[in-house]
Structure 1
């Protein structure tokens, strides 16, 4: 519990900064907590319960001095996709809350178990291109899903295409509430303008206050605009969520996806903000912190949480020095529920939609996608596939596609690694790739081949086929010299294939020769019996040593002007 060590290391000079930052943070926590609860298909009050508990828990168990946790725009659609299909037809808020709370408990348990097993590396399963595509897909899904609320009416399709079609149909059918659309669109423009030109001003708070004022002065409720209404007073009791056993399997799948996204987001944000403050944090301790935050929320009618980069940035800009900032924010939210539950009674629902939509815009990263296009067309295709998976198949299938594509990309790189022939380049030391140096020189009868990956069961056949193709070249090579330094491993399947390949090449009058084998790989080869099958004189410490041996045996010479060491 890193938080228990804070009192002994806390500096008095931090106190004022932490309290001020906590007050500023609280103004953001309330509207975002309410908005993200609705995004998850839950009552707005649950967003505030979640905010309070997760901040208290992370302050005790989290390693970061500044990280702010809470309801998250990226998790909202995943929670809704898991919970809403299990809720009874017509909607049952109590069952939805129970399911969401159980989901938080499951996510928290996954996080703690993953930390005990030291599985922080799991966050690396989603590559940057696929995560980029996933977030872009999530952004457009959230945006389209909030448009009906922004325009003052409801749809219930449950899919991106369905929501888009229903929204267009609703607008075309005259369902738009003009006052609601005016409040929502004005809210979006105001938030974006303030964030762009006055970044130090709490844009969301300003918009929320003005929306409440407008609703009160112009009696927007009478004009058809839905309002939040008075929140329940007080704080919920400790609650063990009760759900049907048949709901558990889908909850399990949803919890895994949420845990993976939350883990990835938390570790990346933690590392980023820690680097800026000169602090080092442990990924496994971060999992304990985020796990404890989810467990605390789950036992008090909350839902899964993650790190918020935007709220953490607000805290940092406001002078936050420790987790006292988050605790201050949580206490202020709690006091609001106990003393002023009607404070946001006149907040228009379109204003909450504006908060969610502007948050979704921050999830999308079009410049990064364009930059990726310029860097690698193949990785853009992975990003696009993840984007389409989220947009057209749904949020949970989308995260499955993102993870699957990332893992397949790992296998693709190992299965079809880069391979090339290398040769001498006039005036340069060593041996170089012929793809980049077409003028590279070769000794007659000698082919130097490089394979940039381990050789194992999944890729040994392409490896063998490439060498066979080199052996069929005319004039027929006497040696195929494998520049083996990039080969970091060889398994038993590959060893058997290499033995057969050596026999096959010997029968054709070509020798398979190895240079620069790593000590570990060479030890494995000896263990597998490869050195007993392949001529022990066909193993050389360096490529130069192998080339000198070839020249000595064959009398081959470099072309004119090509002298060793040039």
Structure 2
């Protein structure tokens, strides 16, 4: 195959090129209409989320344009819409504000945010090449619920001063809440600003609840601009967005200090995990409706390309938006052409009518952010956890407090850490039980669920629902020894090993010592239903030197049948027989 042919084959593998080749003419009108409708949401949200990230509103529009184009070329989903996101705004601010705070230089803040987007892109693309799509599973649903609830509260408290027309100099949820309360008490609130902001929130929530097909954010923004012009709100102390820079953003390589990279990289890692988890969950939900399959590694590459495009044109990190994707779907979107249409319309707006939003009141943007934050919160989900499983509710609360009290970046680290610890806890202290025969039911069942289950004298059937590894091997051994110390002691202890999916070398040593300890007491250790890969590991470890190969049975029933077939013996005879069968124990 020639180099040209290979290049052509690789080019056809690019999702955007393949989408063009497979595009159907009957989709065109629907995609264009959906793109027009989507733009009415992209513009106000883009500006609002930029300010949430402590950046100029125009950067939100630059980001929206480039990420839509980048994902259209490299993203695998036909319908997913990427852009500035309310869940990432506080994380971006937490990463750049400590570095850009001195002097309040907006150009430096933009450069830091663009670098952050490029770093997120690098993480995503490298992780995609390494096929690390499973990273999206690092945050469990309970910890994500807690994280998002904490994030929603943090966003709302942070936007309240802007909603009421004044500023506070504070950092952190508690400090911002305290300064906001002081500002209200000292009469800093601007009545006109509060009226616009609160009315905006109520209007958006009412329209979303009762008229979901109406573009609530657009209606609110248009009415707010109309009110600003009609009542000259500037004269009443209400801040407005002002004139946006004209034209398309130039290609810009961010100029930052090497010393800034450490904090930015920590923020980029957290943003990458949250963005991927959000994208995978959203794409899975919408793919199920369109018949597509979700591939985490390809989604990572698409997100990486979108962030790279945004970062090179004065943008900031992006993620998937469930609300914008839903709008596109309801409007009839069939392909990524919807996003391309949205990007083109925003470019035309910046080139032809950059002053379109100059009279938009800042409290209206705060209303956009607050209503988005309310959609992040999942209080019913937390209540459900309380009712269904208290341990997972506590994990959710811990993640919530991590975000609320320690900040957004520590909060996401706590959420990931708690998710991983929860997995480890379940493997460390798994469900374990003795089994017995229940009249009228096939097989053997937990005596915890069936306290009256029948147990044979001299026989213990024990199930341990986890792989055996260094952290839980001692717990396993202690439980088996507890059975062995019963009065009278058992003759056989049968391990129902079907849930034991692995045995590591530490657990192997514990099993060897345990078997010798039991042999010395005339008790045989039996394994039933052990998986072949686990049995092969046990043989490779050399455990069959002490554990008799005849001690492995295909089912619990066959092990019990073998026990029932044993001749009646005295305790001394049983011990002598065990020592004969296991000479290594002497």
Pick closer, same or farther for the CA change 1:281–1:540 going to 2, 3 Å: closer
- Correspondence for 2:583: none
Q: Which residue of the other structure, out of 381, 395, 403, is the alignment partner of 2:416? A: 403
The runs of 5 or more residues in structure 1 that have no matched partner are 557-566
1:74 equivalent to 2:80? Answer no
Instruction: Please say which of residues 474-483 and 196-205 is displaced more in the overlay.
Output: 474-483
Rounded to whole Å, the distance in 1 between the matches of 2:247 and 2:509 is 71
Runs of at least 5 residues in structure 2 that lack an aligned partner in the other structure = 1-13, 570-586
- The alignment yields a C-alpha RMSD, in angstroms, of 0.9
Match of 2:64 in 1: 51
Shift of 1:235: 1.5
1-side partners of 2:69 and 2:552: how far apart? 62
User: 1:135 corresponds to which residue?
Assistant: 148
8 A Cα contact 2:67 2:306, kept in partner: yes
Aligned to 1:562: none
Show the counterpart of 2:49: 36
**1:122 corresponds to which of 135, 160, 176:** 135
- What is the Cα deviation at residue 138 of structure 1? 0.3
2:357 to 310, 321, 344: 344
Aligned partners of 1:40 and 1:523: how far apart in 2? Answer: 55
Q: Secondary structure at the match of 1:482?
A: strand
Query: Is the Cα contact below 8 Å between 2:128 and 2:298 reproduced in 1?
Result: yes
For residues 539 and 91 of structure 1, the distance between their equivalents in structure 2, rounded to whole angstroms, comes to 71
Counterpart of 2:462 in structure 1 is: 449
Indicate whether 1:505 and 2:487 are aligned.
no
Task: Name 2:103's counterpart in structure 1.
Answer: 90
The equivalent position to 2:214 in structure 1, one of 201, 214, 218, is 201
Q: How far apart in 2 are the matches of 1:148 and 1:417?
A: 48
Structure-2 separation of matches of 1:268 and 1:120: 12
Q: How does 1:323-402 map to 2 (within 5 A)?
A: 323-402=336-415
1:492 and 2:505 aligned: yes
TM-superposed deviation, 1:88? 4.0
Separation in 2, partners of 1:366, 1:146: 20
CA distance in 2, matches of 1:223, 1:369: 42
Measured in 1, the distance between the counterparts of 2:376 and 2:511 equals: 49
Q: Given the alignment, which residue of 259, 267, 284 partners 2:280?
A: 267
1:375 CA displacement: 1.4
Return the match for 2:486 from 462, 469, 473.
473
Q: Aligned to 2:183, which of 170, 175, 184?
A: 170
Q: Distance in 2 between matches of 1:113 and 1:501?
A: 45
Match of 2:290 among 273, 277, 292: 277
Q: Does 1:288 align with 2:288?
A: no
Larger deviation, residues 12-21 vs 392-401: 12-21
CA distance in 1, matches of 2:125, 2:28: 31
**CA offset at residue 406 of structure 1?**
0.3
1:179 aligns with 2:178: no
1:554 deviates by 4.3
- In the TM superposition, what is the alpha-carbon distance from 1:280 to its structure 2 partner? 1.7
Is residue 517 of structure 2 the alignment partner of residue 517 of structure 1? no
2:125 aligned with 1:112: yes
**1:24 Cα offset (Å):** 0.6
Confirm or deny that 1:317 pairs with 2:330.
Answer: yes
| 1:549 CA displacement | 1.4
Deviation at 1:371, TM superposition (A): 1.5
User: For residue 245 of structure 2, what is the aligned residue in structure 1?
Assistant: 232
Q: CA deviation at 1:417?
A: 0.7
Of 216, 226, 234, the residue aligned with 1:213 is 226
Matches of 1:544 and 1:283 in 2, distance apart? 42
Kindly state the Cα deviation for residue 379 of structure 1 after the two structures are TM-superposed: 0.4
Query: What is the match of residue 447 of structure 2?
Result: 434
CA distance in 2, matches of 1:495, 1:278: 46
Matched, 1:545 2:577: no
Moved more, 410-419 or 274-283: 274-283
Contact 2:125 2:300 survives alignment (8 Å): yes
TM-score w.r.t. length of structure 2: 0.94
After TM superposition, the structure 1 stretch with the greater mean CA deviation from structure 2, 123-132 or 81-90, is 81-90
Q: CA deviation at 1:555?
A: 4.3
Does residue 482 in structure 1 map to residue 529 in structure 2? no
2:517 corresponds to 1:529? no
Per-residue deviation at 1:537?
2.4
Query: When the two structures are superposed, what TM-score results if normalisation uses the length of structure 1?
Result: 0.97
| Structure 1 residues 414-467: Cα deviation after superposition (integer angstroms, max 9, x where no partner) | 111110000111122111110011111111111100001111111100001111
